[in-house]
Structure 1
Amino acid sequence: MRRAHSDAEVREFFQYVVVPRGSTWIAEAAGETVGMMVLDGDELSQLYLDPAWRGRGIGDRFVALAKERSPQGLWLRTFQVNAPAQRFYARHGFTEAERTDGSGNEEREPDIRYVWRPA
């Protein structure tokens, strides 16, 4: 995947754009941040986990919280090359709604729009 920004630019974007715009949750362990989730209305805008902490249920808890906070439904985007994310979201009941060629994102990376609707 092509990186569109430096680490410093990404940190600044999160600090001044992403976090203020949405509701943010942080997962911590032993005083370290190991994950974060941002909801922006019905968009699950960001969900990140430290790779060493994947598979420990943190992502599952974040998604459960997102569904609780947005009981009418959610949507998100993930890159087509991110097969683990696709499996994760499918396991949590998200379904593919659209595939793009990436022309609408800064990375120019093909992505998938997923939606979750309650049963």
Structure 2
Amino acid sequence: MELASRIHRASFNERLPWLKGLHTPQEDHWFYENCIFPQCEVWAVCAPEMAGIIAFKADWVEQLYILPEFQGYGIGSALLKQAQQTFPHLQLWTFQRNIQAQKFYENHGFIAIRETDGRDNEEKEPDILFEWRKSGF
């Protein structure tokens, strides 16, 4: 949980610097311990240390984060593929300003189905809901 929360924070801070410092490391650890691990299937890739994590459950990708120095090597694709092999339908949110994440998900068959002004998320940041369905579902 400690490593997962550190990967989350490092990736979040790298890709979303305008939201840096939103939570303390202790709050991130609490979130993973009390919300993510009890409710989700969590997978990690080690290269050799833990380099990326995905947390998902039926219909949702809750978290997908790769350490910045390991991005671009297929780790996120491998983790997302695990979720896509497990469930025939997935949704996830990403911020509108996170263009790299949008392109990543679109390249993996997700389509944007809704945009918001961010008033309903903790960060108050405009976001996009993406959806993926396995062919035939």
TM-score interval for Structure 1 and Structure 2 normalised by the shorter chain: over 0.9
Structure 2 residue ranges without an equivalent (≥5): 1-17
Separation in 1, partners of 2:128, 2:26: 26
1:112 pairs with 2:121:
no
Structure 1 counterpart of 2:79, from 62, 77, 97? 62
Runs ≥4 residues deviating over 4 A: none
Q: Once superposed, what is the RMSD of the aligned Cα atoms?
A: 1.2
> Where does residue 11 of structure 2 map in the other structure?
none
Secondary structure at the counterpart of residue 72 of structure 2 = coil
> Where does residue 51 of structure 1 map in the other structure?
68
User: Deviation of residue 28 (structure 1)?
Assistant: 1.1
Structure 2 counterpart of 1:10, from 28, 33, 45? 28
Secondary structure at the counterpart of residue 37 of structure 1 = strand
> Which structure has the highest helix share of the two?
2
Structural mapping, 1:75-114, within 5 Å? 75-114=91-130
Secondary structure at the counterpart of residue 11 of structure 1 = helix
TM-score (norm 2): 0.81
Aligned pairs, number: 117
TM-score (norm 1): 0.92
Secondary structure at the counterpart of residue 105 of structure 1 = coil
Structure 1 residue ranges without an equivalent (≥5): none
Q: Which has the higher contact order (CA 8 A, sep 6+)?
A: 1
Deviations 1:42-85 (A, max 9, x none): 101110000110111111111111110002x1100001111100
Contact 1:4 1:106 in 2 (8 A): no
> Where does residue 52 of structure 2 map in the other structure?
35
Separation in 2, partners of 1:64, 1:94: 12
